[in-house]
Amino acid sequence: MASDSSSAAVQNEISDRIPVPQKIGYGLGSFLDMWGHWLYNAFAFQVFNIFLGVAPGLVSTALMINRLWDAFADPIFGWMSDNTRSRFGRRRPYILIGGVLAGLFLPGLYAVGTGWSQTQYFVFMLISSAIYVPMMSCFNMAWVSLGSEMTPNYNERTLLMSIRNAIQKAPELAMFFAAQFTTLSVWVGADLGNVVDRLGLLLTSSAAWKPAAEGAEPNILLGGQVYCAILGAIMVICAVLMFFLLRERYYGNVVARKQEKIPILDTLTKTIACKPFRYMLVMIVAYGLGTSMVSALGYYDTIYYVCRGDVALGTWWNFRMGIAGMIFGFAGIPFYTLISKHFGKRHAMGTVLVMAIMAFIGDWFFYNPNHPWMQLLACGCVAFTGAGFWTIYNSMLADIMDYDELDTGKRREGAFSACQSWLSKIGITLGAGASGWILQLTGFDSALKGNQSPEAIFWIRFTLSAIPVIFLAFALWAIIKFPLTREKMAEIRTQLEKMRGKV
């Protein structure tokens, strides 16, 4: 009898595994997620504030409205994804359509000219975001939802997310390189009339890849437009590959045959009634709010404190920090995955948050003009914990889907993905909206270049460390209260398979 039970467990373990091509296909979604969602937040200050002179408060307000619009688009596409029935499944059509459109229109977010008024730039940011955000919601809600239904296995879910986050390091590095790309020497004196010649230089001359000399003024806007066109093309390719590589495990056996369509009001109201999900929401909102409020400050700390206002040198260090973040992030993925495997996801997430608090405290010491290399540790330590957070968080979200299915009899990945996205983006929106005003309240003035006041530098450094620590403490409280342990999930799976069979 024990032998039969052991054999069945081994067979379950084998059947639960996600084929490697599907794991890679799912990980490709991080290219679209990072560049379609987060590049704009990271890059907007470089283009609109530092180069075009738009007040940081206006830039952050535009980003806040961008995230608010994003938060309202997500529930619509989450609901549509849950209720779609097609020969290609309910997720893959949205991944293809949304991903291709998002890639094609990425350069349009910076389709402005020089010499506009601040009001014109601000209005453009609002309109272009309103057009672009639904494209990314179309892709993202289907992609996140699919990640929660690719396997019923507790540990395999974490492995899937660890592979996704490992692949994500490539687009993360491209985000860090964005600022340096726009300050290359090739963009000094460049304009639309000679952009083809400058692209030719990039392909044929190594000198074109050198940073602009101190005092030179590269055309950051044009560099950003070219860079986004390149990234957009890669996004299109990834979306097409994902459509052909991915499969929907639950669709044929559970959703298409048995599940009624879900009312749109359930997308928000009934999902919030799920107790474990509420703790997850507290955690993600606290984490998103605390980190997004200081999202711009690290870059300014590098340029105006460590590099004394030298933008080209600052972007050079910013790219190296990106490389450090990629290396530390890679190291963080197996570290936290191993903790999750041996001690469970709740303990792994608690470890993430404690170490994240320590990392942000360390920022006060790591940003040091006398030892600029220590910035690599600042970015690296935050990336180490960030990789763990998103790996464990998305795996825990899949567990909540099982808990809800046992309670409601429905697979509502789109509803939960939309709801968590909606509330987390509210937090990120408020944080992004506050970030520019926080920068402005420090006394920072872009017109002063490298001559910022000591008070402004102090408050940039202090808020960069203090604000995340406060909010991460709330996230730590939420994970302590989270009820879904490894043992509880094994019990839930047994009950589900008795109720509707295996998938």
CATH number, position 47? 1.20.1250.20
Neighbours of 164 (CB within 10 A): 23
Number of domains within the chain:
1
pLDDT at 374: 92
pLDDT at 254: 56
Residue 155 in any domain: the answer is yes
Query: Computed from CA positions of residues 95, 97, 100, 104, in that sequence, does the dihedral angle turn out positive or negative?
Result: negative
Residue 31 in any domain: the answer is yes
How many Å separate Cα 87 from the centre of its chain?
30
pLDDT at 4: 45
pLDDT at 56: 84
Q: In angstroms, rounded to a whole number, what is the distance separating the alpha carbons of residues 293 and 468? A: 8
In contact, 223 and 183? CB cutoff 8 Å: yes
CA distances from 187 to 118, 195, 216, 315 (A): 23, 9, 10, 14
Q: In angstroms, rounded to a whole number, what is the distance separating the alpha carbons of residues 462 and 4? A: 61
pLDDT at 100: 98
Region 183-195: mean pLDDT is 88
What pLDDT digit, counting tens, does each position of 263-275 carry?
Answer: 666 666 678 888 9
Helix (H, G, I), strand (E, B) or coil at 303: helix
Residue 257 in any domain: the answer is no
More confident residue, 355 or 290: 355
Give me the half-sphere count of Cα atoms (radius 13 Å) on the Cβ side of residue 180: 20
- Taking CA 110 as the corner, what is the angle to CA 298 and CA 456, rounded to the nearest 5 degrees? 25
pTM of the model: 0.78
Region 117-139: mean pLDDT is 94
Residue 304 in any domain: the answer is yes
Residue 30 in any domain: the answer is yes
pLDDT at 21: 95
Region 107-131: mean pLDDT is 93
Domain boundaries, position 106: 18-183+218-248+263-500
Region 221-228: mean pLDDT is 93
Residue 484 in any domain: the answer is yes
1 pLDDT tier (thresholds 50, 70, 90): very low
Region 333-343: mean pLDDT is 93
Q: In angstroms, rounded to a whole number, what is the distance separating the alpha carbons of residues 228 and 99? A: 15
Residue 8 in any domain: the answer is no
356 pLDDT tier (thresholds 50, 70, 90): very high
Region 293-311: mean pLDDT is 82
pLDDT at 7: 46
Mean pLDDT of the chain: 86
If you write DSSP's letter for every residue of 381-442 in order, what string do you get?
HHHHHHHHHHHHHHHHHHHHHHHHHHHHS---HHHHHHHHHHHHHHHHHHHHHHHHHHHHHT
Tell me: pLDDT of 257 over 70: no
Residue 189 in any domain: the answer is no
Which helix (H) or strand (E) element contains residue 121? helix 118-147
Rounded to the nearest 5 percent, the helix, strand and coil shares of the chain are 80, 0, 15
The single-letter code of the amino acid at 431 is G
What pLDDT digit, counting tens, does each position of 146-171 carry?
Answer: 998 888 899 999 999 999 999 998 89
What pLDDT digit, counting tens, does each position of 430-439 carry?
Answer: 776 677 778 8
pLDDT at 255: 55
2 pLDDT tier (thresholds 50, 70, 90): very low
